[in-house]
Chains A and B, each alone.
Chain A
């Protein structure tokens, strides 16, 4: 359906400051990884929003699908013993 091809789509992840993880910021088009990184710098950090950038070709991302949502995520929901609040701690006990 496309009469013109676009440069490939890249997903951009930005680390806002040291100590934080890279977080998805958005996407952009670029001919290759080097240019994608530079375009990401100009587009997503022009107000000083970042100290580090990752770019990933969108087509290289493998994502879970909504169809798989139940088998993927529901089984984790009933394992309440993984959370600290599951356990009774006698009153007065600290640092536990």
Chain B
């Protein structure tokens, strides 16, 4: 098995899956009905990416594990997502701060995977990314419009948007972890995306009359399965029914 590629793909997949799980919570809870529809679209996009990526991860592994086996039958220590996406997201400001940062990162990541300067591009990841790049471009657009409105709306929304950004910011650093050298030239080097992603996000933050948080980065570890305590509960909820009926079809 190509362990490095499996881990890399798993990271991408789990980021998308856990994001979709958090986004699904918003359906019926958004500030306005139109936004319920919008957030459901975004969650569906993320879930679609997760499914494609998990299926591919299963193929790389070569042990016959399906998307569902990987999503439902791994414990939290085997999940490879960053901490950014697993933390609770029940405040609309937090949801938009996270979407802005995460989708901007995904946009650069998927773009590089699909069309970046890669000598021995992984073609499957490139195909998945080529489809996803349009989706996340829309997510960036959606989040940008909301961050502008909340940052430059009322005094209350400005304060709330700023604290949301402050809360998310420490978790950005983990997105840009180093690339396993054996993958050089085959997939996007996430550490190389750092400046471009942060400069895009900073531009929106500044235009929204907010300040770019100056906070020390949180410790990483998500890519090695070292998560916050929140992920266990998220997975318990997500996996419980599937695990209660071993081997059943749904």
Tell whether A28 pairs with B41 under 8 Å between CB atoms, given A34-B145, A38-B142, A38-B145: no
> Is the Cβ of B37 less than 8 Å from the Cβ of A31?
no
> Is the Cβ of B32 less than 8 Å from the Cβ of A38?
no
Closest to A32 in B: B149
Chain B count of residues within 8 A CB distance of the other chain: 10
Residues of B within 8 A of A28 (CB): 34
> Is the Cβ of B38 less than 8 Å from the Cβ of A42?
yes
Residues of A within 8 A of B149 (CB): 31, 35
Residues of B within 8 A of A7 (CB): 32
* A29 close to chain B: CB less than 8 A: yes
| A41-56 interface with B by 8 A CB criterion | 42-43, 46
Chain A interface size, as a band, is 10 to 19
* B141 close to chain A: CB less than 8 A: yes
> Is the Cβ of A43 less than 8 Å from the Cβ of B34?
yes
Residues of B within 8 A of A31 (CB): 149
Bitwise, B21-44 to A at CB < 8 A (1) or not (0) is 000000000001011011001000
> Is the Cβ of A29 less than 8 Å from the Cβ of B37?
no
Residues of B within 8 A of A43 (CB): 34, 37
> Is the Cβ of A39 less than 8 Å from the Cβ of B34?
yes
Residues of B within 8 A of A34 (CB): 145
Residues of B within 8 A of A16 (CB): none
Closest to A6 in B: B32
Residues of A within 8 A of B41 (CB): 42, 46
Residues of A within 8 A of B141 (CB): 38
Residues of B within 8 A of A30 (CB): 34
> Is the Cβ of A42 less than 8 Å from the Cβ of B37?
yes
Separation in Å of the B143 CB from the closest CB of chain A? 11
Closest to A40 in B: B34
Q: How far, in whole Å, are A46 and B141 apart by their CA atoms in the complex? A: 17
> Is the Cβ of A39 less than 8 Å from the Cβ of B38?
yes
Residues of A within 8 A of B145 (CB): 34-35, 38
Bitwise, A1-16 to B at CB < 8 A (1) or not (0) is 0000001000000000
State the 6 A-B residue pairs at the shortest beta-carbon distance, nearest first.
Answer: A39-B34, A42-B38, A42-B37, A42-B41, A43-B37, A28-B34
- Kindly list 9 other residue pairs between chains A and B, CB separation below 8 angstroms, not including A39-B34, A42-B34: A7-B32, A29-B34, A31-B149, A35-B145, A38-B38, A39-B35, A39-B38, A42-B38, A46-B37
Ordered by A's residue number, 5 sampled pairs between the chains whose C-beta atoms are within 8 Å are: A7-B32, A28-B34, A38-B141, A39-B38, A42-B37
